[in-house]
Structure formats: C-alpha cells, structure tokens
C-alpha cells in the first residue's frame, strides 16, 4: 500500500513524517506499530540491562554478542513468518510490520558485529582477518551483507527507484540470509546443537509453506489443514537432519537418534519443539477464524 499523492500542506507534512516507524501508510500514528517497535527493542534493552547489572557472567561482551546474534536470526525468521501469518491468522495488518522486523534483524546483526569487534578490543585488523579466514565468520559476514542491502533498499524511495520487480527479487535474498544465519549458528556451536536445529526446523516450515503457496497460486489458496501437515513435514525433516548430523559427526546410529524423539530421554527434541511452534501458529489461525469477531477474508498466498 502506498500513500495517495496529495498536494495539500497536510499531505506534504505526512509524507515528510512517513519514515517514522510508528506511523501507518497514511502518516497517522499507529499504536500497533509503536507496540511492535517497543517489542523489537526489548531484547536489546534487556541485554543492556543485564550488561549494566553485571549479570552476563565472566565474559559479558561475549555473552551479549551471543544473545544479540541469536535475536538477529530470530527476527529474520519472524520477518519471514509475517506473510504466512497474514494468511493463517487472517490479519492483513501484519504486513505493516514486515519492514520493521527486517530492519530490526539488520540492526541486531550489525550490533552483533560491533560486539564482536568490542570483544576483540577493536583490533580491526584482527577482526577483518578472522572474518576472511574463519569460514563460519565469513558466512556470518555474507549474511550481514545481504541484510545490509535489504535494509538500505527498504525505503519507499528505493522501491520506486529499483522498480517493484527488481526490488522483490533483491528482497528474496532474505531466504539466503536466513540460511546463512542458520549455518553460521551451527558452525559456531561447540557441543549442543539443539537450538540451531530448532531454527533449521522453523526455517524448513517457512520454506515449505512458500513452496506450497507458490504451487497452489491461482487455485484458491492453501487448504486449512496443509500448514499443519507442513509443520509435521518440517518436524520429520528436522529429526532426519539431526540423526544424519550425529551419524556423520559422532558416528551415532541414526535410528538411535530418531528413537530419542519418541522416548523423551533427553527432553523434547528440536523436531518436536519446531513442530509445536508451527502448530501453535496454525492453531492460533484456526481459533481466530472460529472466533465470532474474527475478520473473514479470502486466504492469501505468499
């Protein structure tokens, strides 16, 4: 949605105010967008609070670096979940916050790099060499470059300058950034890879959803049961991926790792957690559609 051209002084003032993230597309104050802005800033504020209170352990900068990196990846996945969220939750307003979530992911990623430089006592030559020669850092850097390109081109002016088609194609790089972020996460972990596997499972569902939506394009949207089936599919893919990972890395028989998903011997496994998060999303959509006050709109495709 774009602003209607207006020659009035009020219209000009609105256009000048437009970049403010708490204004809607018509330049009006939006409590919804302000709330989301505050929510997006909360993790950083919380980490800053813990840092100031000396609650981040013996290496506070490194701990903050981990927290902020984690939030950057979460925000990329959240921004990818907005389009399916609009369709599943029947909540068109969600699209208003997609740009904010994407820019926030970039801000967290840039702060993550800044914290890394701080952790290296701002020895920028060392930072550059490490990024060039340590593959997991090179991958993180590539993800950051993509996020930077998207943040720089996120304004309405850039949409106009690039043209909608080129802009959309550029912004499809977000899938690559998410994948690189997940790989970077896996590669920096020393022992427990549960959380990267949860992220991988969520990413798998987001990609399966988009694939299904593309295949069903022009055929009346996705049936209500399909996102739930895709959540199960993403869970199975996560369990298989995890078992192959432990087989290749530690030589553990894949059947043994797969079995743990059912015995709960080590608590709920990443496959189950990722499936549960996706199913909660789908169930929230079903509940919203069943509520008497729900806004009923035709299902939208991504």
Residues near ligand HEM (CB under 6 A): 62, 65-66, 69-70, 72-73, 76, 109, 112-113, 116, 131, 137, 140-141, 143-144, 147, 181, 184-185, 188
The least distance separating ligand HEM from the CB of residue 265, rounded to whole angstroms, comes to 24
Residue the block writes with tokens 């969220």: 85
Distance in Å, CB of 13 to ligand HEM, minimum = 37
If the CB atoms of residues 181 and 235 are measured against ligand HEM, the closer one turns out to be 181
CB of 243 to ligand HEM, least distance (A): 23
Please tell me the distance from the alpha carbon of residue 243 to that of residue 259, in angstroms, as a whole number.
10
When the beta carbons of 62 and 153 are compared against ligand HEM, the nearer one is 62
| Cβ neighbours, 10 Å, residue 166 | 12
Number of neighbours of residue 161 by Cβ within 10 angstroms: 11
Query: Three-state DSSP class for 295?
Result: coil
Cα 57 from chain centroid (whole Å)? 27
Nearer Cβ to ligand HEM (110/229): 110
Q: Which is nearer to ligand HEM, 144 or 230 (CB)?
A: 144
CA atoms of 216 and 210, how far apart (whole Å)? 10
Q: How far is the CB of 63 from ligand HEM (least distance, A)?
A: 9
Distance CA 88, CA 301 (A): 10
Give the number of other Cβ atoms within 10 Å of residue 92's Cβ. Answer: 13
Token reading at 84: 């399916």
Find the shortest distance in angstroms from Cβ 38 to ligand HEM. 22
Minimum CB distance to ligand HEM smaller for 73 or for 206 = 73
């Amino acid at each position: 949605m774009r602003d209607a051209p207006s020659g009035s002084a009020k219209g000009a003032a609105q256009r000048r105010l437009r970049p403010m993230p708490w204004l809607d597309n018509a330049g009006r104050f939006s409590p919804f967008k302000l709330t989301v802005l505050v929510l997006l800033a909360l993790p950083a504020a919380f980490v800053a609070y813990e840092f100031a209170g000396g609650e981040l352990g013996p290496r506070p900068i490194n701990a903050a670096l981990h927290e902020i990196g984690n939030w950057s990846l979460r925000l990329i996945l959240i921004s990818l979940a907005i389009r399916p969220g609009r369709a599943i939750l029947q909540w068109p307003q969600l699209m208003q916050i997609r740009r904010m979530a994407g820019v926030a992911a970039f801000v967290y990623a840039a702060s993550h790099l800044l914290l890394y430089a701080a952790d290296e006592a701002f020895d920028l030559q060392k930072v550059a060499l490490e990024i060039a020669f340590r593959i997991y850092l090179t991958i993180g850097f590539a993800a950051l470059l993509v996020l930077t390109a998207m943040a720089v081109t996120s304004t309405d002016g850039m949409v106009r300058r690039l043209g909608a088609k080129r802009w959309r194609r550029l912004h499809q790089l977000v899938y690559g950034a998410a994948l690189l972020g997940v790989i970077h996460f896996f590669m920096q972990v020393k022992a427990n890879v549960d959380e990267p596997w949860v992220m991988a499972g969520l990413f798998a569902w987001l990609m399966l959803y988009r694939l299904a939506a593309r295949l069903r394009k022009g055929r009346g949207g996705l049936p209500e049961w399909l996102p739930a089936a895709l959540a199960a599919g993403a869970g199975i893919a996560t369990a298989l991926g995890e078992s192959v990972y432990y087989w290749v890395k530690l030589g553990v028989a894949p059947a043994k790792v797969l079995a743990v998903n059912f015995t709960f011997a080590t608590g709920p496994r990443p496959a189950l957690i990722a499936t549960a998060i996706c199913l909660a999303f789908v169930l929230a959509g079903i509940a919203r559609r069943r509520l008497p006050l729900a806004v009923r709109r035709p299902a939208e495709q991504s």
